[in-house]
Amino acid sequence: MFSKYAPRLRCRCNSLNKSVSIRCLSDKSSDPNDPEKENKVVAEKEYKTPAAGTYHSPWIILKEEVKSITGAFTTGHVTQARNVVPREADILVIGGGLVGNSVAYWLKKRNPKGVNVTIVERDYGYTRASSMLSAGGIRHQFSLRENIEMSMFTTDFIRNIREHLSVLDHEPPDVQFNHQGYMFLANKEQAENLETCVKFQRELGAKIELMSREKISQKFPWVNLEGIEMASYGTQGEGWFDPWLLLKAFRQNNVNNEVTYVKGEVVGFQKTNNPGSHVGSATDFQTLNNIDIKDEEGNLHQMHFSLVINCAGPWAGEIAEMAGIGTGQGGLSVPLPVEPRKRFVYVIHCPNGPGLEAPLTVDTNGVYFRREGLGGCYICGLSPEEDKEPDISNLDVDYTFFEEKIWPKLAYRYPQFEKIKLKSAWAGYYDYNYVDQNLIIGPHPKFRNFWFANGMSGHGVQQSVAIGRAIGELFYDHDFTSIDLTRFGFDRIMHDEPVLENFIV
């Protein structure tokens, strides 16, 4: 069903995995072989690299490409980003976090030599990346089939990560998967919905146990059961892992498969007119084929692509707006409903707290905690009320939020936490889909070579592997062949038909 969205890729001629286009140029203002150039004055270039479709000295091209190759080896590992922005790519991935790297992995896995994939990322230190600042949780306890199946696939992938992401002459990857599971507590009002969801999760193969008050008391005696009717507990496949180690493994594998990493900031798109299109509005005559990228030194580069995939996380809405999505008429009047939302994670120390058997536990009010290491430390958090979202201009931590909103609830439900010490905290961003808090994936209805992989609203780490595979299926098979994510397309946003998930933390 997606065959009409699949972009046509140009033919490439590769030599030593690099391509150089050469054309003889005249350095005179007039060219006897081209009368149209007579007496034309060559304007000073705005871009440091030439605009797509123009010509440049092959010697300068060769010098820049050799410089980028040698620069990649300066650390002894081919993992750092290029300083030179390439002139073109078959597929351009915007965003070098877990989702972007997973997308690149699955695209190259199917066709390692035939498709050129470039990732552009402005912050390879990942100081503001959602992937690195998350709690690393993975659960199968959702109300939507798509979310359950995506997380189950990620579990299977990281269990067998050595088979998928091992690279010759490098240590086998290990993401330090802790299998303690998730536990959702429910009061009387929440109990019926919890039972329904657990039944559905089991039908899909998830190993979820429904626990009575008595069973909770026996297995987890540190829980104050006042107001608690039952709980759901993931016995297999749930827990948490280190997102950085998964990202690192993806990157190493991608570099081995010749994915190009570019450090730069996307600042705009260039549109191309298509007068041959049979359409009804002026905007339909345009396609996106060129992108403007600003490097670390502030120089502007233009890059040509056949397909661009938006994996920009919390800033995906800004990227879509640069492309004209949400700023035009008709099909371009609807914006991508993704924005950054700041969330805090607090580290507490409680030597006599819940033991090693403790799952990531979510109270009826949304407060969660889990163990962190073996030294009596735990992390905890809570999403703020909708009308009290914190300032997103920085990553400063609000410690008052912990003292007033989290600690009292923790101490009430888990009495061991009455005496704790707040050790540290950090803040990160959700790529928050403010329509229905679910993934938006696939092509835009108007710009068919602009694809989305956005809006997971805190579930990106645990869904990243499945999202990458789904993008690969769309590209090669023109449809979702493993997990049907059709409901998560952009069409639901345009038609105001949200797909709601009941299990949002």
Class of domain 170-239+343-433 (CATH, top level): alpha beta
CA dist., res. 35 & res. 22, Å (int): 22
Q: Span 445-454, mean pLDDT?
A: 95
Compute the distance between CA of residue 497 and CA of residue 485 in angstroms, rounded to an integer: 15
pLDDT at residue 2 tops 50 = no
Secondary element (H or E) of residue 193: helix 188-203
Residue 275 has a pLDDT of 61
Q: Tens digits of per-residue pLDDT, 225-281?
A: 999 999 999 999 999 999 999 999 999 999 999 999 999 999 999 987 766 544 445
The DSSP bridge partners found for residue 94 are 120, 310
Yes or no: say if 466 and 127 are a contact pair by the CB < 8 Å rule: no
Kindly report, as residue ranges, where domains of CATH 3.50.50.60 are found in the chain.
40-64+81-169+240-337+436-505
Residue 372 pLDDT: 95
As a whole-number percent, the residues of the chain with pLDDT over 70 amount to 81
Q: How high does pLDDT run on average in the chain?
A: 86
Q: What is the pLDDT of residues 174-209, one digit of tens each?
A: 999 999 999 999 999 999 999 999 999 999 999 999
- Nearest Cα neighbor of 433 from 333, 326, 310, 337 is 337
Average pLDDT (47-76) is 43
Tell whether the model's pLDDT for residue 214 goes beyond 60: yes
**Nearest CA-CA partner of 239 in 360, 366, 347, 378:** 360
- Reported as a single tens digit per residue, the pLDDT across 389-423 is 999 999 999 999 999 999 999 999 999 999 999 99
Q: What is the predicted pLDDT for the residue at 81?
A: 64
* Mean of pLDDT values over 52-75: 43
For CATH 3.30.9.10, the residue range(s) in the chain are 170-239+343-433
At residue 285, the pLDDT reads 53
Q: What is the pLDDT of residue 290?
A: 96
CATH number of 40-64+81-169+240-337+436-505: 3.50.50.60
pLDDT average, residue stretch 281-297: 79
Tokens standing for residue 384: 């703020």
The pLDDT score that the predictor gives to residue 62 is 43
**Which residue stretches of 370-498 are H helix?**
399-401, 407-413, 460-477, 491-494
Q: Could you give the angle at which helices 98-110 and 460-477 cross, rounded to 10 degrees?
A: 30
Q: Which residue has the higher pLDDT, 357 or 278?
A: 357
Query: What pLDDT is recorded for position 287?
Result: 82
What's residue 85's pLDDT?
A: 92
Quote the pLDDT of residue 127.
Answer: 79
Q: Is the predicted pLDDT of residue 59 greater than 70, yes or no?
A: no
Q: Could you give the 3-state DSSP secondary structure of residue 397? A: coil
What's the CA gap between 186 and 465, in Å, rounded?
30
* Predicted local confidence at residue 482, as pLDDT: 98
Confidence of residue 54 (pLDDT cuts 50, 70, 90): very low
What's the one-letter identity of residue 310?
Answer: N
More confident residue, 135 or 422: 422
3-class secondary-structure state, position 362? strand
The residue count of the chain comes to: 505
The reported pLDDT for the residue numbered 284 is: 52
Q: What is the pLDDT of residue 304?
A: 97
Over residues 113-124, the mean pLDDT reads 94
pLDDT at 125 over 90: no
228: CB partners within 8 A, 6+ apart: 185, 186, 187, 213, 216, 364
Query: Mean pLDDT, to the nearest integer, of 306-313?
Result: 98
Average pLDDT (69-88) is 58
Given this model, what pLDDT does residue 34 score? 46
The H-or-E segment that residue 368 falls in is strand 368-372
Task: Give the pLDDT confidence score for residue 272 in this predicted structure.
Answer: 79
pLDDT tens digit sequence for 154-177: 999 999 999 999 999 999 999 999
- Residue of 374 and 307 predicted with greater confidence: 307
Average pLDDT value for residue range 328-339: 94
